[in-house]
Every structure is written in structure tokens, then in C-alpha cells.
């Protein structure tokens, strides 16, 4: 939900929709947006000279239009310039918060010494890493993870695109240098695609203008767009399927939002190396202040009924600072709802834990290679973190354990799977799919044999925490077909079918247990409720169905291909009773 509706938020959504609808009624196809190139940031900021950080007070600190930055505003005393008795003031800091949603502008200010800080996503910081590392003074040090996007960003697609693999050869619109570039590359990689497999249309703006992905999606030659969730809801008639009315696109749907892909977009702060070296204590105080502000914000939201006036004041101030109008309090609450603050433990996991599946180092290694393919970087490199003593940063924080509750309602999941099986629509909402194979009479699945596949599932489960993962066992139909050819009775044949179904289910369960055990061995706890096991038996053979029975396999390969376990990663956001974020 980055840069939420920018200047458009001054108006109500209904007014904006009605105005655009009137325009569409006169002009069937909008003029093409002003697409841009997306070269390395070094070219965008060419000619900017590196200067020492300004010693003037207050110190300029960038923020962006995002729910996580509400905590920064609270920490600053609910004002642009640090207020007396605020969290930051108590830390001896005097700051001036400057909203800057155009990342290249942040980079210019950072290089010129107007601010020692950068505020962006991990994708954005990686995008800038090469140009910033050209001068040792400006090499970025990542100091703090603020949030994960857990609902604020979405991939909207037109009819005919049912899964990620269907994006091959399609045209995708997204903002240049914005928060969705690594979101796109990660999703493509999950479907076995690279940036070279799609056509990209870069836009200068994120939202609220004729040069945004939402505007580009109105064009007939654009098939998909990465947008903030308010734009996604407008394009899809409230998040269902676009009707063609009120700015929606007929047949358009949200293929995937960060409610499902809830561990891709990480929001962080970085600081210049030279400033960090000279002012390490001050930067540490800023980091600790952010942690305290996050804690205070969570408490204020939790107790908002008892502290209504303070809560409303924060909403109005945040609306003014982030959205240019104190009336946009509902949008501010939406911004907050679409992010997940990671807290002290999340920062430890992100920066310190070598086993964390979504750590800073792992995200960097994941982000940079496709950025090289896109021409945004010329090569890969490492990023530096602050190396904080997190025991010291615990001071004043009420640390609670990570919730181990189940995110999926297992009863509702079972009903959903049964319904889809009966309707023949198990692939509805399918994002990714792959298979593993087993030998005749095999009943165990060790990590030694299936390590690559288990690692792949681990990646899907930890990156797409809001997705349901089905593990579907299939059996070889040859035994059944031989008995039928011999003329066995229907009762016997029915027992053979049921036995095959039971065996395929037991294999699916064995695979699920092995995957969870594989995660535990790497100190990664998977949520068992995220996995749904299914036993298909001989109902869906690779060799196909001939009449009412499986087609006989014609080759050894066809025979062996039937002995498989299939994984599907399903988007179930529309099933509100199935998935409930913790």
C-alpha cells in the first residue's frame, strides 16, 4: 500500500471512481501512459556529487507513505519535527521527517548529504546498492527492519491468466525503482520464469496519476499490473472479479496479494557508512527509538477505545503527513492493517539468525540476480548490517514469544478441499505446482532423496505464509487395470480402488511429515495447518482417462509418472473462513 493514493486520497474513492467512469464513457480507450526506461540508478543520479552529511539540526530523516511509518511519526511526537517528551527526544535526537516516495529523489538527497538515511524496501536498497558503493562514504548499512507487507500490494491480471506460469510472454506494468520490482521477480521465479520471459512496462508513478500501473492496466496491450491494494480493489470490483463498471476491468482479478505472499516485501532503514562510523551511538538510539515507537503504536491501537483522543490525534497527524489531509484517517488505518511490524525478535531473525528463511542475506541473494537480468545492477554484491547487540536493544521492550498458533482453520480447509474435489476445481487459485516421484512400494520419503524438493516447499511455505499447500498422492492404475482385464467382480475392483486411494493418502501424509521434519532440522517451524493432504488413488493418472477408467500406460515412463506426489500452492484469500492471519 506504498504511497497510498498520493494526492488522490484528498478525494473520496467514490468521487474518483465516478469521475473516471464518466471519462471512460466518452473515451473507450485511454491514451497510453508515459512509460519510462528503468536503467541502473547510477544513470538516474548521474552527476550528483557526494558530499558530507549536513551538520544542521534537526537531522533530516525520510519516511514513505506506508503503515510502518506511522510508528516513526508517533516516535517523533506525532509531528514532523521532533516534539518535546517524545520517544526520539528522550533519546537525545532532533529529527525532521520528510516524506519522499520517489526513491531516486531519496538517493540524491542521501548522496548529497542532506540526509544520512534511506527508507525503502529491501528491493529498493538493493537496487541502489551498486551506485551507493562507488564511494566508501555512502555504502549503505542496513540498521532496522520495520515491517513486512501483508496485504498492501497486489498482482492484478486480466482473463486467461490463472497462475504464474500463464504470465509467460505477457506484458506487465509496474513502477520503476518502486516496491514491486523484487515482488515481481520472486513470483516469476516461483513459477519457473525469469524477467526475460515477460514484457515489462515501467511507469514513473505508483498510484494516483495517468502514469501509474493502474492506469496502464486500462490499456488493451497490458495483461497484468503490480499495484497497491486500493487500486487492485478498484480494478477488480472490490477484490472479486472486475465487472467493467466503475473503473474496473471486465474479468480482472487479483492473482496474488501480499496477504498470501507475506514474506517478500521487507521495509527497512539504511544509513551511510561514514555517518554510521562517526555517529554509531546516535544511530543505535534511533534504532532503539523505532523499536519503542513500534511497541507504543501497537499498544495504542490495542487500547484505542480507552485512549480515543490520543489515537485519533495520531490518525489525523499521520494522515496529514502521509496523505496531505487530516481527513484521510480511514486510509491511515488501512495502511496500518496492511503491514506486519516485526519487532525486536523479527530484527534478530532478519539480521542475526542464520537459519531464518527470510533473512537480510537470503533476500539479498534472491533479489540481486534477477536485477542483473533486468539491467538494474551490473553484478551481485553483499550488503552490510549494523551488527547491533540485540540484548542491549531489548531495554524497555516487552518481548513476547512468537505465536505458534495455527493460521488455517483445518475444518474449513477440509470442507474447501472436498468441495473443490467434487467440482473438479482443485486447481482454482493455483499459483505454483510441481511433483516428486517415488518407486513401486515406496512408503517413506527421506530428505536425502528429496532435499531439493523439500527445500523448494520450505521456500514456498515461508514466503507465501497465506497460501494453502496441498500435498496430493497419486497411485499407479496398472494393478487395477490388470484385475479388470481378468474379469474380477466390481466388489473386488472397488476394493482395489479404495486401497490405492488409502495408499496414496498415506504417502501424502508421509511426505508432509517429512517436509515438516526437514524444516525442524533447520530450526524452521512450519505450520501443519498450512498443508492439506489428499489421496487421489488412481483417479487422475498421467496417462489420462479412457471412458470411466484410467488409460493403460503405454511406456515405462507413463507407468512411473503415475507414481507421484503433487504439490500445489493455492491462493485462498477469498476464503475468509479458511485463513486468518495471526
- Retrieve residue 363's grid coordinates: 533476500
- Mean pLDDT, to the nearest integer, of 256-284? 97
Helices (runs of H) and strands (runs of E) counted in the chain: 20, 18
pLDDT number for residue 399 = 78
User: Per-residue pLDDT for 522 more than 70?
Assistant: yes
Out of 18-27, 106-115, 144-153, 426-435, least confident range:
18-27
Q: How would residue 17 be classed by pLDDT, with cut points 50, 70 and 90?
A: very low
Q: What's the CA gap between 117 and 536, in Å, rounded?
A: 55
Q: Which residue has the cell 505464509?
A: 465
Q: What's the CA gap between 126 and 109, in Å, rounded?
A: 17
User: Per-residue pLDDT for 395 more than 60?
Assistant: yes
Mean pLDDT score of the chain: 91
pLDDT number for residue 340 = 97
pLDDT number for residue 19 = 34
CB atoms under 10 Å from CB of 216, counted, come to 26
Q: What domains are defined for the chain?
A: 6-31+152-257 (3.40.190.10), 42-148+265-388 (3.40.190.10), 410-571 (3.30.1330.60)
Q: How would residue 107 be classed by pLDDT, with cut points 50, 70 and 90?
A: very high
Q: What digits encode the pLDDT tens for the residues 116-141? A: 999 999 999 999 999 999 999 999 99
Which DSSP string corresponds to 156-205? EE-TT--SGGGGTT-EEEEETTSTTHHHHHHHHHHTT--GGGSEEEEES-
pLDDT number for residue 271 = 98
- Mean pLDDT, to the nearest integer, of 224-240? 95
Q: What digits encode the pLDDT tens for the residues 354-370? A: 889 999 999 999 999 99
pLDDT number for residue 404 = 58
User: Per-residue pLDDT for 15 more than 50?
Assistant: no
pLDDT number for residue 12 = 34
- Mean pLDDT, to the nearest integer, of 288-292? 98
pLDDT number for residue 373 = 96
Which DSSP string corresponds to 318-378? HHHHHHS-TTTHHHHHHHHHTEEE-HHHHHHHHHT-TT-TT-HHHHHHHHHHHHHHHTS-S
Residue 203 neighbours by CB under 8 Å, 6+ apart: 33, 34, 35, 36, 173, 174, 175, 176, 211, 212, 213, 215, 216
List Cα–Cα distances, 78 to 269, 317, 318, in angstroms: 19, 6, 7
- Retrieve residue 562's grid coordinates: 503415475
User: Per-residue pLDDT for 2 more than 60?
Assistant: no
The edge-to-edge listing of strands for the beta sheet with 467-474 is 430-437, 564-571, 467-474, 531-537
Cis peptide before 58 (omega within 30 of 0): yes
Task: Tell me what percent of the residues of the chain surpass a pLDDT of 70.
Answer: 92
- Mean pLDDT, to the nearest integer, of 316-335? 96
Amino acid at each position: 500500500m506504498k504511497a497510498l493514493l498520493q494526492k488522490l486520497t484528498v478525494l473520496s474513492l467514490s468521487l474518483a471512481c465516478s469521475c473516471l467512469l464518466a471519462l471512460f464513457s466518452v473515451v473507450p480507450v485511454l491514451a497510453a501512459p508515459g512509460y519510462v526506461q528503468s536503467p541502473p540508478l547510477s544513470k538516474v543520479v548521474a552527476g550528483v556529487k557526494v558530499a558530507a552529511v549536513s551538520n544542521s539540526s534537526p537531522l533530516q530523516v525520510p519516511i514513505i507513505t506506508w503503515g510502518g511509518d506511522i510508528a516513526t511519526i508517533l516516535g517523533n511526537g506525532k509531528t514532523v519535527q521532533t516534539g518535546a517528551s517524545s520517544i526520539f527526544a528522550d533519546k537525545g535526537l532532533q529529527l525532521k521527517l520528510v516524506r519522499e516516495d520517489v526513491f531516486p529523489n531519496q538517493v540524491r538527497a542521501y548522496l548529497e548529504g542532506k540526509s544520512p538515511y534511506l527508507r525503502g524496501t529491501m528491493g529498493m536498497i538493493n537496487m541502489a546498492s551498486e551506485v551507493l558503493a562507488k564511494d566508501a562514504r555512502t555504502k549503505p548499512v542496513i540498521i532496522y527492519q520495520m515491517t513486512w507487507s501483508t496485504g498492501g500490494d497486489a498482482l492484478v491480471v486480466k482473463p486467461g491468466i490463472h497462475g504464474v506460469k500463464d504470465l509467460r510472454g505477457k506484458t506487465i506494468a509496474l513502477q520503476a525503482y518502486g516496491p514491486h520490482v523484487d515482488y515481481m521477480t520472486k513470483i516469476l521465479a516461483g513459477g519457473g520464469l525469469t524477467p526475460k520471459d515477460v514484457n515489462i512496462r515501467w511507469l514513473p508513478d505508483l498510484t494516483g496519476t495517468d502514469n501509474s500501473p493502474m492506469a496502464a492496466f486500462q490499456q488493451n496491450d497490458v495483461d497484468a499490473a503490480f499495484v497497491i491494494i486500493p487500486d487492485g480493489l478498484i480494478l477488480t470490483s472490490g477484490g472479486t472479479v472486475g465487472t467493467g463498471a466503475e473503473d474496473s476491468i471486465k474479468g480482472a482479478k487479483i492473482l496474488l496479494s501480499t496477504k498470501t505472499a507475506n514474506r517478500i516485501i521487507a521495509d527497512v532503514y539504511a544509513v551511510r557508512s561514514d555517518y554510521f562510523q562517526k555517529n554509531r551511538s546516535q544511530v543505535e538510539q534511533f534504532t532503539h527509538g523505532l523499536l519503542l515507537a513500534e511497541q507504543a503504536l501497537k499498544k495504542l491501537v490495542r487500547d484505542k477505545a480507552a485512549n480515543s483522543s490520543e489515537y485519533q490525534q495520531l490518525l489525523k497527524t499521520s494522515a496529514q503527513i502521509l496523505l496531505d489531509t487530516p481527513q484521510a484517517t480511514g486510509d491511515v488505518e488501512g495502511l496500518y492493517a496492511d503491514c506486519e511490524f516485526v519487532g525486536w525478535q523479527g530484527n534478530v531473525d532478519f539480521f542475526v539468525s542464520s537459519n531464518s528463511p527470510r533473512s537480510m542475506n537470503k533476500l539479498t541473494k534472491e533479489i540481486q540476480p534477477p536485477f542483473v537480468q533486468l539491467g538494474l545492477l551490473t553484478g551481485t554484491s553483499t550488503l552490510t548490517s549494523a551488527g547491533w547487540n540485540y540484548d542491549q536493544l531489548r531495554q524497555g521492550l516487552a518481548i513476547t514469544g512468537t505465536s505458534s498458533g495455527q493460521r488455517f482453520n483445518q475444518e474449513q480447509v477440509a470442507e474447501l478441499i472436498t468441495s473443490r474435489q467434487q467440482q473438479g476445481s482443485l486447481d482454482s487459485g493455483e499459483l505454483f505446482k510441481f511433483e516428486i516421484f517415488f518407486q513401486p512400494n515406496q512408503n517413506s520419503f527421506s530428505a536425502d532423496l528429496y532435499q531439493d524438493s523439500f527445500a523448494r516447499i520450505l521456500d514456498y511455505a515461508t514466503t507465501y505464509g497465506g497460501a494453502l499447500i496441498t500435498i496430493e498422492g497419486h497411485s499407479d492404475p496398472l494393478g487395477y487395470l490388470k484385475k479388470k482385464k481378468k474379469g474380477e467382480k466390481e466388489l473386488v475392483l472397488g476394493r482395489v480402488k479404495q486401497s490405492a486411494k488409502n495408499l496414496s493418502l498415506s504417502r501424502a501424509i508421509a511426505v508432509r511429515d517429512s517436509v515438516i521434519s526437514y524444516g525442524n532440522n533447520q530450526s524452521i517451524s512450519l505450520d501443519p495447518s498450512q498443508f492439506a493432504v489428499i489421496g487421489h488413488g488412481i483417479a487422475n493418472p498421467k496417462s489420462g482417462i479412457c471412458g470411466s477408467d484410467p488409460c493403460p500406460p503405454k511406456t515405462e515412463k507413463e507407468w512411473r509418472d503415475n507414481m507421484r506426489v503433487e504439490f500445489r500452492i493455492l491462493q485462498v484469500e477469498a476464503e475468509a473462513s479458511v485463513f486468518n492471519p495471526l
